[in-house]
Chains A and B, each alone.
Chain A
Amino acid sequence: MKGRFGVWLTYVRVSGRLFSWLFIKRGSASFSMKQIETDEVRHLVPARSFAEKCLDAAEALYARGYALEDARLLAVYSHTKRNPYLSMLYASALEHGFAPVFFGDTSQLSTIPAGLSVLVHFHWIHRIFDKCVDAQSANKAVDQFLAEGARQKDLGRALVWTLHNVTAHQSKFPQEELRLRADFAALVDHIHIMNPDTAALCAPHYALDTTKLFHVPHPSYHGVYADYVSAAQARLTLGLQPNDKLFLLFGALGAYKGVRSFLAQLDALQKQMDGQAKFIIAGSKADRSFMEDLYALTAGRIDVQLHEGHIGDHTVQTYFRAADVAVCAHLSGLNSGVAATALTFGCPTVIATRMAGCIEGADSCLFTFDAEKPETIIGACVAALKASGQAHGRQKLEKWALEMAPAKLSTRFFTSLVDRL
């Protein structure tokens, strides 16, 4: 009896394991709060369909007195939650007969109700690679995206592209992205550039038809971020001494930001500053390997503070009001929102010569360095620091910020666009 029972027990155990392998272990077997939080449809599906948003947008234009023929829907790809640039660019859209509606998936374009005059405005097109896992899927995504673009043109919809970068800062599929950009540049009708040197800077990678380009510089951030904290209070908050000279590197951290290159110059710069320089590197975390590098480079340096994490809109002022100089250490790139933010807060800014063109009318407060010669950043920092205490410079920047306010630049953008249509 005992032997039979043993065989039976073994059978139960084995079949149990087999059963367990077949049914239980597959997929995620445990629950987490995150799963529950993101599961609700509210977070995934907008309360209105894209078609309804389009009709609402058209209605907003009719309410402003635009007739059906003059009302233009601006279907925008893609939306970013944290970057206020799109809200700034479209600040005056309705006043000019354009109603922006954001979409994240090109398939949504097919749901736009007929009879509306539509322009499709693209921004960060590399977002099509977000879900790609390998080069093959990336190539497929490129083909689909270009085919959809061509289909939109066939429907008589003009394609507009705002070119933010030569390539994405941390491109997952560089070859595929270059193909995407080259073909897309040929496909679109109008290309909005912020830096007048864009065509030349892109030329080694892909060609831009200059007849398609129209230039509207980066706006200032006037009225975008909270600005009520005094410089003294901001410095106190950040633990700075009155004699400290703060150099601020602000924005999402990443290898492309030139932080490593700048940190390599710190000792030389500190010598020029008689040891009074302080450096704050503030922004959301980058990938792990870069952060490990950053930890290694900043460990043991009392003059460098690393503030990892997203900086909220009400805290941005603390950093820029406290800073003597903002440093945009990018060695590549076309435009800099950080430079525009710094100038808006009256902070002299160090920037690579190639990117300086994206800011119009603030030349006297921009201090440039040669990206090919990283050591030139020291001279630019010293010069910027000299300018930082000058009231004249601050007044100039206040005037610049008003002149380049988002609503005004938005008007310039739409006026330029209408002229081209």
Chain B
Amino acid sequence: MTSLSGYRALTRRDFRLSSLGLFGLFRPQMILLTRRPVRRLFFLGAKQNLGAKQNNGLDMEITTDAAESLRGALLARVRFFTLLGREIDIPADMAEQEFFADTTTDTTAGMGAQRLWLNRPEGAVFALVSLARTVSGRTVAVAAKIALSKMLEAPMDAVSLSRCRDRARLETALDTARACADRQAGRTLLARLIYLWQLDRHRQDLAVLEDAQGLLCAGLDLGSESAASVINSANQGCCFVYSAPLSGPLIDGMPLLKWLRHEARLLVRSVRAQGAGMIKLSQCALRQPELRLSASIAAKMGGFAADSDLLIASSSPVGLSWLSAEEIQKITSRFG
């Protein structure tokens, strides 16, 4: 007798229904998954409520007879079709979603269901969901009502987040943390996301976060560049007007400190080339926190006079790369 009692093996009839996209149409299922997927087609409705916070989701409780929980034990593949049957391209991480299989003990202890999200793309009328086991030599079972329900990405408390295995919800919480420059929450969320899914984009985000933390706490080690500050510019009265990034815009995923170092070096070079003694930010540049930061660093690095506007807190209205507007101002003042 298997420890996964109560679950039934898939039959030929199930696969016949599956080939029509009708698996699990009539009642909730408790099945032992196979490598051969079972499929279910959902009609999403003709009307589309674009921009709605609600999305379709399917909750599944996944269990294994293994001694430890299995990573990526269930693969859910999602495809969307228009009314005429044309397949709609969707991002890879939405098209294929992997799920953990919990041990029977964990399931009993209430590890909870995992959610498959179906974020309906524009024009989608049908969604085809396939469920398959990916691991060999282990039994993987799923208990679910194979039906879509409207779900809200409601905010969760800290305890729920620490146990959550819903990537969409964790990423929503991460966006919120980023917007508030809450690095502590961000670090916790990213640590969980990395632990669960091992994706580079999360690692990259954590690197950006730690980089910002380093900039705030330890500052920027100007190293040998600061020595160059003794070679002061000849013409203190002449201003270099800084209106746009010299190294190109700060792109997503680029650690701020790395970008700042390079940008400040370029700025120092440009100011010196012009024979100026002061960096003046244009009105447009004053609204861009990264330019304010690079200007203040370059001023320190090159021994130039600081633009007095840099030190006005109100001129830094937005945060950047896990730093709040106040924190950016704090760093700017340190260099200015």
Stretch at the interface among A15-23, A185-193, A306-314: A15-23
Q: Does B93 contact A (CB under 8 A)?
A: yes
Q: Does A136 contact B (CB under 8 A)?
A: no
| Contact of B251 (CB < 8 Å), options: A19, A36, A49, A68 | A49
**A-side contacts of B37, CB under 8 Å:** 29-31
**B-side contacts of A113, CB under 8 Å:** 247-248, 259, 262
A57 and B126 CA atoms in complex are apart in Å by: 48
**B-side contacts of A375, CB under 8 Å:** none
- Give chain A nearest CB distance to B78 CB in angstroms: 13
Stretch at the interface among A39-47, A203-211, A252-260, A327-335: A39-47
Closest A residue to B22 by CB, please name it. Answer: A16
A71 and B20 CA atoms in complex are apart in Å by: 63
A114 and B263 CA atoms in complex are apart in Å by: 9
Secondary structure of the B contact surface, majority rule: mixed
Q: Does B233 contact A (CB under 8 A)?
A: no
Q: Does A105 contact B (CB under 8 A)?
A: no
Determine if A24 and B200 form an interchain contact, defined as CB atoms under 8 angstroms apart: no
| Contact of B258 (CB < 8 Å), options: A39, A59, A65 | A59
If the complex has contacts A24-B19, A114-B246, A114-B266, are A36 and B199 also in contact, measured as CB distance less than 8 A?
A: no
If the complex has contacts A23-B21, A68-B266, A113-B247, are A39 and B203 also in contact, measured as CB distance less than 8 A?
A: no
A40 and B96 CA atoms in complex are apart in Å by: 10
Size band of the interface chain A makes with B: 35 or more
**B-side contacts of A24, CB under 8 Å:** 19-21, 39, 128
Chain A 1-51 interface residues, beta-carbon cutoff 8 Å to B: 16, 19-20, 22-24, 26-27, 29-31, 33, 36, 39-42, 45-49, 51
**B-side contacts of A62, CB under 8 Å:** 224, 265
Q: Does B255 contact A (CB under 8 A)?
A: yes
A31 and B328 CA atoms in complex are apart in Å by: 48
Q: Does A111 contact B (CB under 8 A)?
A: yes
Closest B residue to A32 by CB, please name it. Answer: B35
Determine if B258 and A52 form an interchain contact, defined as CB atoms under 8 angstroms apart: yes
| Contact of B85 (CB < 8 Å), options: A22, A30, A55 | A22
| Contact of A47 (CB < 8 Å), options: B41, B96, B128, B204 | B204
- Give chain A nearest CB distance to B14 CB in angstroms: 15
Q: Does B72 contact A (CB under 8 A)?
A: yes
**A-side contacts of B204, CB under 8 Å:** 47-49
**A-side contacts of B79, CB under 8 Å:** 27
Q: Does B36 contact A (CB under 8 A)?
A: yes
**B-side contacts of A39, CB under 8 Å:** 92, 96
If the complex has contacts A49-B251, A58-B262, are A20 and B19 also in contact, measured as CB distance less than 8 A?
A: yes
Q: Closest 4 CB pairs between A and B?
A: A115-B266, A113-B247, A22-B85, A55-B258
> Which A residues have a C-beta under 8 Å from some C-beta of B?
16, 19-20, 22-24, 26-27, 29-31, 33, 36, 39-42, 45-49, 51-52, 55-56, 58-59, 62, 65, 68-69, 111, 113-116
Q: A36-B98, A68-B265 are in contact. List 8 more A-B contacts (CB 8 A).
A: A19-B21, A23-B85, A24-B20, A33-B134, A36-B72, A41-B93, A42-B199, A55-B262
